[in-house]
């Protein structure tokens, strides 16, 4: 009898997640029987028992794997046996599965971001050998994944956040795992004079904050009085709306820009392949979440 795969997503809230569409498309394309359910778990401490029960179901293999989104990417770690190197470096887990009785936590946001960035920039990346300097806006969980991915790929990283202490903590944690490469992080404060002085040097700007996400679509993390770096590529992790205020302003300035829907697809595909061992049909997954059908709420992955 063919195996039936039982997969899912946990977080809070999970009102309009696109993950079921992505993974049902991947299962169908691979010819696999299965389902992808939503397992909402309230924030801790209220949700602690539910989170323990859910991870226990994976350990018992009642579930083959789950994705983890806000607010449990850090909370789930104490319930796991082992972290993959990326999850350990980033300090957050978005994918859980069992191997040989060991409950693993991994992070597919980092490779998912990098895969889509390469796809979006195309040959443009090859021309940045002498100017591979990236500005990461924000210092939360997504910023950690982005900074880790870029640093591992040889980019010089600057982190801009409203709370410099949070930015410094992020830089110190990621740099600690990359110290053997001698990688250096620079920390600046968003909207400070430092950002104005340094902004011309960046070849890549990545927004990891929720600014611009529906329903507040007029918000932007980029200061209104600050020109964009000449020739930079702008990548906004927000994907609803399809064209955020940041992406629109960047394009009006003559820059290439992309939203985060491709990262959503790529991180889901990476998770699917870890769970099932089957290749994920990325184009089929993209078709399942075309932008004209996006109604994602804040925090839903």
Kindly list the distances between the CA atom of residue 18 and the CA atoms of 25, 40, 160, 193, 280, in Å, as whole numbers in the listed order: 11, 14, 29, 39, 16
Query: In 3-state terms, what secondary structure has residue 152?
Result: helix
Query: Which listed residue (6, 23, 72, 73) is catalytic?
Result: 73
280/271 Cα distance (integer angstroms): 9
255/236 Cα distance (integer angstroms): 13
103/101 Cα distance (integer angstroms): 7
Kindly list the distances between the CA atom of residue 289 and the CA atoms of 49, 115, 191, 217, 293, in Å, as whole numbers in the listed order: 33, 18, 34, 20, 6
Which residues, in sequence order, are CB contacts of 264 under 8 Å at separation 6+? Answer: 18, 22, 112, 239, 289, 301
Query: In 3-state terms, what secondary structure has residue 110?
Result: helix
Q: How far apart are the first and last CA of the chain?
A: 32
For tokens 């899912």, the residue is 8
Q: Name the CA radius of gyration of the chain, rounded.
A: 19
Active-site annotation holds for 73: yes
Run of H or E including 95: strand 95-99
169/138 Cα distance (integer angstroms): 12
Phi, psi of 142 (to 5 degrees): -65, -40
Report the candidate in 281, 279, 243 with the shortest Cα–Cα distance to residue 261: 243
Active site residues: 73
């Amino acid at each position: 009898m063919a195996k039936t795969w039982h997969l899912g997503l946990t977080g809070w809230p999970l009102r309009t997640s696109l993950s079921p569409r992505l993974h049902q498309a991947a299962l169908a394309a691979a010819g696999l029987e299965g389902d992808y359910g939503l397992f909402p778990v309230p924030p801790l401490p209220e949700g602690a028992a539910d989170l323990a029960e859910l991870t226990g179901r994976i350990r018992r293999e009642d579930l083959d794997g789950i994705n983890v989104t806000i607010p449990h990417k850090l909370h789930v770690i104490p319930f796991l046996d082992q972290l993959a190197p990326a999850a350990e470096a980033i300090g957050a887990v978005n994918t859980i599965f069992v191997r040989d009785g060991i409950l693993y936590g991994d992070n597919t946001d980092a490779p998912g971001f990098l895969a889509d960035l390469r796809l979006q920039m195309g040959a443009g990346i090859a021309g940045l050998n002498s100017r591979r300097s990236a500005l990461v806006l924000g210092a939360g969980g997504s910023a950690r994944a982005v900074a880790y991915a870029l640093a591992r790929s040889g980019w010089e990283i600057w982190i801009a956040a409203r709370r410099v202490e949070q930015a410094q903590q992020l830089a110190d944690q990621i740099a600690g795992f990359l110290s053997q490469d001698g990688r250096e992080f620079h920390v600046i404060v968003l909207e400070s004079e430092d950002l104005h002085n340094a902004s011309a040097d960046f070849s890549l700007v990545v927004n990891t904050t929720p600014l611009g996400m529906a329903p507040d679509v007029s918000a932007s993390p980029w200061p209104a009085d600050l020109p964009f770096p000449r020739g930079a590529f702008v990548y906004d992790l927000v994907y609803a709306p399809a064209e955020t205020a940041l992406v629109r302003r960047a394009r009006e300035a003559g820059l290439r820009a992309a939203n985060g829907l491709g990262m959503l697809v790529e991180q889901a595909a990476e998770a699917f392949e870890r769970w099932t061992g089957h290749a994920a049909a990325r184009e089929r997954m993209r078709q399942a979440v075309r932008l004209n059908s996006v109604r994602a709420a804040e925090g839903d992955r």
